[in-house]
Structure 1
């Protein structure tokens, strides 16, 4: 079966990384509870890799990070696009997603977040 992936690239202020990790941990539990197959969040580590002269756009440039920010790359895997739509509808309807239930503000600028849905064209492993 062809998997479907929601992918995100976010510039996160370094001072907000712990708050973001806590938020992402709760979000991951919520997506998994509602049927996502896999939830992943990774923080930038090797952001200027040596590609042996091959031209590329590094993630910090892509995300337009400032000196006091880092990049977070995340993805959620679903059975299909229909399954993604079903899971996301459940997640968005969950009382935990009510903005009035949030204790604090978002630890990043949502207007600078990149997001997209992707059809799987090659996949190995789980």
Structure 2
């Protein structure tokens, strides 16, 4: 069953190109370890919610946008092994993130329906 790692990230608007460059550099590492796809999106229509929303979830600042991304894995076992290996990979260790990683939301999800 496919497994997804999903992130919600506040990215300074001035860092959009750096964010996309970061993704372009790291995506091959995920694919080397078994990912079937790496997807990045940039918030264009992110409404304010009454109780919560994407902006509140990441404490979005006025000069930032919400980016949502996901990595598709064939299954959770492949994902778990990949992350274990990637955390030891020197190529990943030396990378600067063009966003505030402390406000990033991330989680793994089992795909249960695709209609």
Contact 2:3/2:108 (<8 A) preserved = yes
Aligned residue in 2 for 1:5: 4
Distance 1:14 1:63 in 2: 15
The one of 45, 55, 64 equivalent to 2:59 is 64
RMSD, aligned α-carbons: 2.0
Deviation at 1:35, TM superposition (A): 1.2
Name the count of aligned residue pairs.
Answer: 115
Deviation sequence 1:101-124 (CA, Å, 0-9, x none) = x4xx42111111101011111124
With structure 1 as the length reference, what TM-score do the two structures score?
0.81
**Which has more radius of gyration?**
1
Aligned residue in 2 for 1:112: 103
Any gaps of 5 or more consecutive residues in structure 2?
none
Any gaps of 5 or more consecutive residues in structure 1?
none
With structure 2 as the length reference, what TM-score do the two structures score?
0.87
Deviation sequence 1:59-115 (CA, Å, 0-9, x none) = 22222201000000000011111110122223233331132xx4xx42111111101
